[in-house]
Amino acid sequence: MIRSLVRTPFRSIPLLALVTALVAVVAVTVGARDVPAAASPGVDVTKDLDYASARPAGTQGHKLDLYVPKSRRPLPLVIFTHGSGWMADNGRMDADKVAAQLNPHGFAVAGVAVRSSSQAQFPAQLHDIKGAIRWLRANAGKYHLDPRRFAIMGESSGGWATTMAAVTGDIPELEGTVGVSGPSSAVQAAVPFYPPIDFRQMDAHMLTDCTPREDGSVPGECHADPHSPESRLLGCAINDCPDKVAAASPLTYIGKRRTPPFLIFHGKQDELVPYHQSRLLFNKLAAAHKDARFYSFPNTGHGTFLEMLSDPDTQRGASQETTRHGHTTRPTPGHPSWQTVVSFLKSQLHTAGR
């Protein structure tokens, strides 16, 4: 249902209404989480862990779930956070599906929620994901995790959280006070799917026409609208608060600190987060001589991270390009799959900290 919603033409549908419809579907799905899922053989599943006290009380934005394969040695961890346009604290959604793919290859998985924009505004969501990373490191011994080998992965607004966490590791003024202090918030690899990167550049590349009207307003399906998900996240219409937009952009931080390798996925038919957003990220990483691989999907829309790695129709025509030490390759045919993610994680996490 989510896939059909995002593929429906929405020139006349306000962006907030479309995202709200998606979140409503997500809420139904997340409600099914109350039914205990059967643990995979050989995997310890621990749900509803609090990495910080709930703010506001009774909400889910400071919870995480852990999926840890049984092992004699501490395991590398992949932190996953789902997207919602920052409109729901549903970050743990689909972590079980990610774990089902990664656990057999020796990776533990943590599904992490962050607060919604109605519960707290930016930078709270960045503080949340960093607080979760620190908590997981502080409790690595208890849950058999290797604190030297953490990766992060997320889709849509979860891809934004993934990217922001990756490029701001251990920057004191961005750490916040969520949860425990002391352990590092840095990660050793990042895997964002269709992440928002620079809010003020989104409308110029939308598939719908976001040209401002004569009175200066923009169509409701556009990101500069005062009620857009990005405006709600920042607490201001994005065109009225450029400093906040810059503070919430990963581009602001790339090159200022050590940046881990990236594996990026984005569809060129994305109706919500323009493909150009990931192009901005890849180009900035390349200009800063950081390592990244970028998979592009010519016929793929939003909300398709699982299909990008498993569905032949979604993958058809995909291309890849890489940048390493300042050298960038031209796009070539790509064949992305879960094995692509596994190989990337192994190449980064099996050497990190050694």
In this predicted model, what pLDDT tens digit does every residue of 91-104 receive, in sequence order? 999 999 999 999 99
Q: What mean pLDDT is predicted for residues 190-212?
A: 96
Q: What radius of gyration do the chain's Cα atoms show?
A: 19
β-bridge partners, 262: 190, 292
Q: Does residue 21 register a pLDDT over 70?
A: no
Nearest-angstrom CA–CA distance, 313 and 114 = 32
pLDDT computed for residue 212 by the predictor: 82
Q: Which residues contact 348 (CB under 8 A, 6 or more apart)?
A: 151, 188, 189, 260, 261
128: three-class secondary structure by DSSP: helix
Q: What mean pLDDT is predicted for residues 283-312?
A: 98
Tokens 């139904």 belong to which residue?
A: 28
Sort strands 63-69 and 332-333 into parallel, antiparallel or unpaired. Answer: unpaired
Q: Does residue 3 register a pLDDT over 50?
A: no
What's phi and psi for 195, nearest 5 deg? -85, 140
Q: Does residue 269 register a pLDDT over 80?
A: yes
Share above pLDDT 70 across residues of the chain, in percent, rounded to a whole number = 88
**Type of residue numbered 341:** V
Q: What mean pLDDT is predicted for residues 110-117?
A: 98
Q: What mean pLDDT is predicted for residues 159-167?
A: 98
What's phi and psi for 233, nearest 5 deg? -60, -45
Tokens 């032949």 belong to which residue?
A: 312
pLDDT computed for residue 131 by the predictor: 98
**Type of residue numbered 173:** E
**Type of residue numbered 225:** D
Nearest-angstrom CA–CA distance, 347 and 345 = 5
Task: Indicate the average pLDDT of the chain.
Answer: 91
Express each pLDDT in 55-99 by its tens digit. 999 999 999 999 999 999 999 999 999 999 999 999 999 999 999
Question: Helices 124-138 & 157-167, crossing angle to 10 degrees?
Answer: 70
Least confident of 36-40, 52-56, 69-73, 297-301: 36-40
Q: How far is CA 211 from the centre of its chain?
A: 28
| Token digits of residue 185 | 């918030």
Concatenate the DSSP letters of all residues of 241-305 into one string. Answer: -HHHHHHT-GGGTBTTB----EEEEEETT-SSS-THHHHHHHHHHHHTT--EEEEEETT--SS-H
Q: Does residue 353 register a pLDDT over 70?
A: no
| Token digits of residue 103 | 């656990």
Q: Does residue 271 register a pLDDT over 60?
A: yes
